[in-house]
């Protein structure tokens, strides 16, 4: 069958819309995609995380701390530590020292409640810091009817002798944790404690120290971008 053309075809609109007449968003380059995690981490908070004199290179110190944490995470007093492969950054001597350190900590009588079955380990939390969202993990929470203990393990070699000498970055981390926990347990008394594994020694941060850090964090404007 033959197909006959339209006897009176309508002319096509060949008008070109000037670029200037297009909406502004068409001419605006797309924003670069966000890299990495959209959340802050405790390491993003300002302040030093250690005192001078740590002795280990940064990569070794981080690997050492991670290994000690991992050994203690599933440890039970009076029982052998879990068999874990040491990080490649640690030589045999450092790996052995980490195992001895973790063993000494979990078998210290004064820390029994930290490693008891009722304690909560590796608790993931989210906190608002200066209008941004921080995600972190609390090493240990001990919750009862009226109080919450926030306990963080630190494997720093240089251990402060007083709570007012704790590096600012660590205090800020604990203050952010306290902010998050206070939203979950608004009627509980909250205490922040640091278990220095090298000594080993459990140190409480005073309410004033934590509160001052919380007030500073509320007004920070130089944190990395995050929701």
pLDDT, tens digit, for every residue of 54-92?
888 889 999 999 999 999 988 888 888 888 999 999 999
pLDDT at 221: 66
What is the mean pLDDT of the segment spanning 194-221?
93
pLDDT, tens only, 138-192: 999 999 999 999 999 999 999 999 999 999 999 999 999 999 999 999 999 999 9
Most confident of the following: 7-21, 22-36, 144-158: 144-158
30 vs 116, higher pLDDT: 116
Question: What's the token pair of residue 76?
Answer: 């039970």
pTM higher than 0.85: no
Q: If pLDDT is split at 50, 70 and 90, which confidence band does 199 have? A: very high
pLDDT at 13: 60
pLDDT at 109: 92
- For residue 112, the 8-state DSSP code is T
pLDDT at 209: 97
15 pLDDT more than 80:
no
21 pLDDT more than 60:
no
Question: What's the token pair of residue 3?
Answer: 């197909």
pLDDT at 79: 83
Rg value, the chain, Cα: 27
Share the mean pLDDT of the chain: 85
Q: Return the bridge partners of 125, or none.
A: 136
Distance between CA atoms of residues 108 and 126, nearest Å = 31
Q: If pLDDT is split at 50, 70 and 90, which confidence band does 106 have? A: very high
- Which of 88, 152, 89 is CA-nearest to residue 125? 152
pLDDT at 49: 92
Among 7-11, 163-167, 171-175, 197-201, name the one with the lowest average pLDDT: 7-11
Domain locations in the chain as residue ranges: 53-217
Class at the top of the CATH hierarchy for domain 53-217: alpha beta
pLDDT at 56: 85
- Which of 109, 104, 110 is CA-nearest to residue 72? 104
User: What is the four-CA torsion angle of 191, 197, 202, 207, rounded to 10 degrees?
Assistant: -30
């Amino acid at each position: 069958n033959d197909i006959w053309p339209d006897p009176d075809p309508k002319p096509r609109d060949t008008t070109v819309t000037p670029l200037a007449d297009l909406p502004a968003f068409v001419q605006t380059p797309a924003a670069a995609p966000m890299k990495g995690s959209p959340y802050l981490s405790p390491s993003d908070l300002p302040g030093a995380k250690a005192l001078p004199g740590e002795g280990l290179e940064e990569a070794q110190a981080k690997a050492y701390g991670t290994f000690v944490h991992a050994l203690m995470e599933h440890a039970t007093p009076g029982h052998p530590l879990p068999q874990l492969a040491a990080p490649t950054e640690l030589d045999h001597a450092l790996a052995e020292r980490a195992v001895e350190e973790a063993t000494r900590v979990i078998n210290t009588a004064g820390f029994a409640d930290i490693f008891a079955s009722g304690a909560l380990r590796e608790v993931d939390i989210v906190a608002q810091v200066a209008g941004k969202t921080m995600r972190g993990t609390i090493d240990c929470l001990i919750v009862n009817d009226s109080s919450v203990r926030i306990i963080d393990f630190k494997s720093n070699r240089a251990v402060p002798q007083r709570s007012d000498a704790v590096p600012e970055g660590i205090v800020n981390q604990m203050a952010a944790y306290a902010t998050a926990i206070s939203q979950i347990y608004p009627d509980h008394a909250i205490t922040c404690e640091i278990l220095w594994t090298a000594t080993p020694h459990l140190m409480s941060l005073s309410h004033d120290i934590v509160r001052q850090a919380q007030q500073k964090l509320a007004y920070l404007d130089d944190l990395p971008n995050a929701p």
